[in-house]
Chains A and B, each alone.
Chain A
Amino acid sequence: GIQVEQSPPDLILQEGANSTLRCNFSDSVNNLQWFHQNPWGQLINLFYIPSGTKQNGRLSATTVATERYSLLYISSSQTTDSGVYFCAVRRYGNKLVFGAGTILRVKS
């Protein structure tokens, strides 16, 4: 089946710093989503981005489908950005395959 790898596994930032999270996938996909899991366990939808670039406030994402990767950019990080960031892809059917996540800690 399709493999999803996220990097880095852990990231510690000072408040105000920028960061880039990466998601590599092993095959072509129909769907790619980025999620943020907050400390209470809720998965928050950040982007639905099977290709192209999207921006939402301080966050933006780019997916280069032909090269099988996606990037999530966080600018001017805040402590509330802390949590786990997941990339998930869907090749066909209904099943999303999740990466292992990036744990982000933003220090004040």
Chain B
Amino acid sequence: DVKVTQSSRYLVKRTGEKVFLECVQDMDHENMFWYRQDPGLGLRLIYFSYDVKMKEKGDIPEGYSVSREKKERFSLILESASTNQTSMYLCASSLDPFRGGGSYNEQFFGPGTRLTVL
């Protein structure tokens, strides 16, 4: 079974702090994703990575950065946390060797991190 883990289930930070959210997958997946989920807005893609040190912006990258130094680990960084970044953060991974169609691009999600910024 694919396993995607996230470093914290709940996190409380103060405005202006630098925040790191960590995600690790154990299935050698090329692709990793960070989403945020907010009531009424659904799941929105922040960033994704299709290889080590490679990243692409999603729909809402402002205020976030990412790091992928190893294939199994994808970090989301809030350089200076703000209250509007209070949200549920979900990490996902998928195997997508051809970056195309086929059955390899099923995404699997971690348990989520509920971040509160005070």
By DSSP majority rule, is chain B's interface helix, strand, loop, or mixed? strand
Interface size class, chain A: 20 to 34
Which of A41, A92, A100 lies in contact with B42, CB distance below 8 A?
A: A100
A-B pair count, CB < 8 Å, reads 58
- Whether B109 lies near A30 (C-beta < 8 A) is no
A94 contacts which of B37, B43, B96, B109 (Cβ < 8 Å)? B96
Given contacts A30-B105, A31-B106, A41-B111, contact A98 B43 (CB under 8 A): yes
Is A42 an interface position by the 8 A CB rule?
yes
Instruction: Report chain B residues within 8 Å CB of A100.
Output: 42
Distance of A33 Cα from B111 Cα, bound (Å) = 17
Most B CB contacts (10 A, CB to CB) among A48, A50, A94, A95 go to A94
Q: How large is the interface on B (under 10, 10 to 19, 20 to 34, 35 or more residues)?
A: 20 to 34
Digitize B84-96: 1 where CB-to-A-CB distance is under 8 Å, 0 elsewhere: 0000101010101
Query: Distance in Å from the Cβ of B66 to the closest Cβ of chain A?
Result: 14
- The reply to whether A94 and B112 form a contact with Cβ atoms under 8 Å apart is no
Question: Is A17 an interface position by the 8 A CB rule?
Answer: no
A41 to B35, CA, bound (A): 13
* A99 in the interface (beta carbon within 8 A): yes
